[in-house]
Structure 1
Amino acid sequence: MTPLLSLDGLTKTFPTRRGTVRAVDGIDLQVRAGEALGLVGESGCGKSTTGRMLVRLLDPTAGRITFDGRDITGLSQRRMRPLRRDLQIIFQDPFASLNPRHTVGSIVAAPLRAQGEDDPASRVREMLEFVGLGAEHADRYPHEFSGGQAQRIGIARALVTGPRLVVADEPVSALDVSIQAQIVNLLAGLRRRLGLAYVFIAHDLAVVRHVCDRIAVMYLGRIVEIADRDALYGAPAHPYTRALLSAIPLPDPVAERTRERIVLRGDPPSPSAPPPGCAFHPRCFKAQDRCRVERPPLAPLDGAAGRAAACHFPELGPFA
């Protein structure tokens, strides 16, 4: 089946005084219609830059973006406008992405007006109800809402055009822990009801587990592992993925106290001066001489359908 979205060799560099920062380094990804793909990693790994490129809020330096069989990499913003009905984004900070001078109704209606619809009021009311807000909130302003409610407004705005794919860029990381589960459950429920495809960006593997079918792990601008959810959580192949999973608290206090946590050495290297060989080797507990000189490709794992890891010495055993 032809994927809804394909990224081929996608690259983004930024010039700085110290040289060129390679924020995204030649990644390949596919998202099928109706699928939720998680994109996870530490802050600064390039996941949000990737998300903004695939909805064309940032232009890639190199590579190709294909949406529904059409190359959209070089399309002008004018030619992109009709495609934005099918391709939307939910931002991390709801208040930063909502204009405080506009009413909620005006904010949610903006994507419809950009598509040429003159009277979006009924659709706006429908979407506010859909995300758990009353239609009466349309005349209020963003500052009158809590963080969780403001994010619901952002979700309504993203869904009002009936998109096929939504990029959710850390949609709960700016919210109180008590509210995060509500928004995650809302997004999961909307996906089931509407048949949406998601690219769900997060730094917390515990969050994406409840929403995503497949998960891609990024480190220093590259994908280091991609697998179906159950395979990745049950038997992660890349040492970095194992370290991330070991940081997730266990609900059983006895198991939490007795398990061995993987502690990585140091901080992630600067993307303006990545180390030679495998970018993860300075922090890796399995690094060998080969890792310091030879960069491993993202390669399929033997006997593991749909799985790939960028590691010379991957593990396939169960993860305790």
Structure 2
Amino acid sequence: MGAVSIAASPGERAAEAAAPLLSAAGLQKHFPVRRGLLQRQVGAVRAVDGLDFTVHRGETLSLVGESGCGKTTTGRLLTRLLEPSAGTVTFDGRDISHVSQRQMRPLRRDIQMIFQDPYSSLNPRHTVGTIVGAPFRIQRVEPTGGVRAAVQELLELVGLSPEHYNRYPHEFSGGQRQRIGIARTLALRPKLIVADEPVSALDVSIQAQVVNLLEDLQAELDLTYVIIAHDLSVVRHVSDRVAVMYLGKIVELGDAAAVYGRPMHPYTVALLSAVPVPDPRRRGRGRRVRLAGDVPSPLNPPPACRFHTRCWKAQDRCRTEEPPVRELAPGHRVACHFPENAGPADPPDR
């Protein structure tokens, strides 16, 4: 007898839609440091050191912070290009933290990555047709109408001409190369896309075009994004939620409007104060915060609050007690003993 398929009830469909597409719990990645003839481990670079967050279907979560804070490592953990040292990554209800490459291969159709540098992420010896069509061959998928037609449709989708099928990457500008990379990412219609600094290598005049393209594709294809960026102004208008990272930890997480409009962690305040203001009439109104010193080494991070060595609000408590992550406003979580913009409705500091 053939298998009987049972349709999901409305309640089950609603529960599936409400469940996060991606979640990270206690996520860590430590890179061992070895020295000597016997290559003994003498320490570890704590690139990612305990992250907890979720990404819901159809939303855009942006991970922002200075270079070296662990953003790119986090993106590679989420796509399982790196295996976590501890913690879990759950995708679509399945724990993928330590699955083998063979088990991960079918999931590659649903999880894709846009890389930072459009010049090094495309093989210069392959044509655009070969590059964009590679996911079909790797996953052994035969699209309706053939690979060529599917690739040309993808090129049109990202704003390129189907006639570019036989051209090589060196014949395109940086913005066009990034569109080729985006077309390759979209080939198998993934559910989740992790975009690692997708516009940082492009001219400022082109950045807005690529960001707008990503936003249009999300609306058209019902995509979910995790966007990694160091420039807060780039992701401001495409983010549903923003997570601010510092030295391997998330220090603030909340709705984009709340984080940009009412930042609570001193580090977030400092980052936003450095964003250029294009309107001359508004310049000088905000407080410019200049942080002292450099980002400490993740090989030997400061104890307790990792930001206390650069924070203008730091007190003795910050040097001895790690601040817990608290929800100071609905959906707005902050790890700080003495947060900024904390109104009277916020819970008391314990």
TM-score, normalised relative to structure 1:
0.96
Instruction: Report what 1:233 is aligned to.
Output: 260
Instruction: Report what 2:250 is aligned to.
Output: 223
Give runs of aligned pairs for residues 171-250 of structure 1, distance below 5 A.
171-250=198-277
* CA deviation profile, 1:196-241 (whole Å, cap 9, x unmatched): 1000000011011121100000000000000101111110010000
User: The residue matched to 2:302 in structure 1 has which SS?
Assistant: coil
* CA deviation profile, 1:227-266 (whole Å, cap 9, x unmatched): 1011111100100000000011112213213532000011
Q: Which runs of 5+ in 2 are unaligned?
A: 1-17, 35-41, 344-350
* CA deviation profile, 1:283-316 (whole Å, cap 9, x unmatched): 0011111001111122211xx1111001011123
Q: Could you tell me whether the CA contact under 8 Å between 1:184 and 1:210 is conserved in 2?
A: no
1:167 corresponds to 2:194: yes
1:309 corresponds to 2:334: yes
Instruction: Report what 2:21 is aligned to.
Output: 4
* Matched AA of 1:13: H
User: Following TM superposition, where does structure 1 have runs of at least 4 consecutive aligned residues deviating by more than 4 angstroms?
Assistant: none
The alignment of Structure 1 onto Structure 2 pairs a total of residues equal to 316
Shift of the alpha carbon at 1:317?
Answer: 5.3
Matches of 1:12 and 1:4, distance apart in 2: 22
Instruction: Report what 1:16 is aligned to.
Output: 33
Matches of 1:247 and 1:285, distance apart in 2: 16
Matches of 1:33 and 1:120, distance apart in 2: 28
Q: 1:81 aligns with which of 102, 105, 114?
A: 105
Matches of 2:237 and 2:211, distance apart in 1: 8
Shift of the alpha carbon at 1:194?
Answer: 1.0
Shift of the alpha carbon at 1:177?
Answer: 0.8
Give runs of aligned pairs for residues 44-59 of structure 1, distance below 5 A.
44-59=68-83
1:114 corresponds to 2:131: no
Q: Quick one: percent identity of the two aligned structures?
A: 66
RMSD: 1.2
Shift of the alpha carbon at 1:77?
Answer: 1.1
Matches of 2:330 and 2:262, distance apart in 1: 13
Matches of 1:53 and 1:193, distance apart in 2: 27
Shift of the alpha carbon at 1:76?
Answer: 1.1
Q: Could you tell me whether the CA contact under 8 Å between 1:20 and 1:272 is conserved in 2?
A: yes
Q: 1:268 aligns with which of 285, 288, 295?
A: 295
Q: Could you tell me whether the CA contact under 8 Å between 1:38 and 1:216 is conserved in 2?
A: yes
* CA deviation profile, 1:141-198 (whole Å, cap 9, x unmatched): 1111100000000000111110111000000001111111111111111111111100
Instruction: Report what 1:133 is aligned to.
Output: 160
User: The residue matched to 1:7 in structure 2 has which SS?
Assistant: strand
- Worse-superposed segment, 10-19 or 31-40: 10-19
Q: Could you tell me whether the CA contact under 8 Å between 1:37 and 1:214 is conserved in 2?
A: yes
Matches of 2:60 and 2:48, distance apart in 1: 21
Matches of 2:326 and 2:186, distance apart in 1: 35
Shift of the alpha carbon at 1:122?
Answer: 1.6
* Matched AA of 2:284: R
* Matched AA of 1:307: H
User: The residue matched to 1:215 in structure 2 has which SS?
Assistant: strand
Instruction: Report what 2:347 is aligned to.
Output: none
The structure having more radius of gyration, on CA atoms, is 2
* Matched AA of 2:91: F
- Worse-superposed segment, 309-318 or 136-145: 309-318
User: The residue matched to 1:283 in structure 2 has which SS?
Assistant: coil
Q: 2:171 aligns with which of 144, 163, 176?
A: 144
* Matched AA of 1:312: H
TM-score, normalised relative to structure 2:
0.88
Instruction: Report what 2:310 is aligned to.
Output: 283
Q: Could you tell me whether the CA contact under 8 Å between 1:37 and 1:212 is conserved in 2?
A: yes
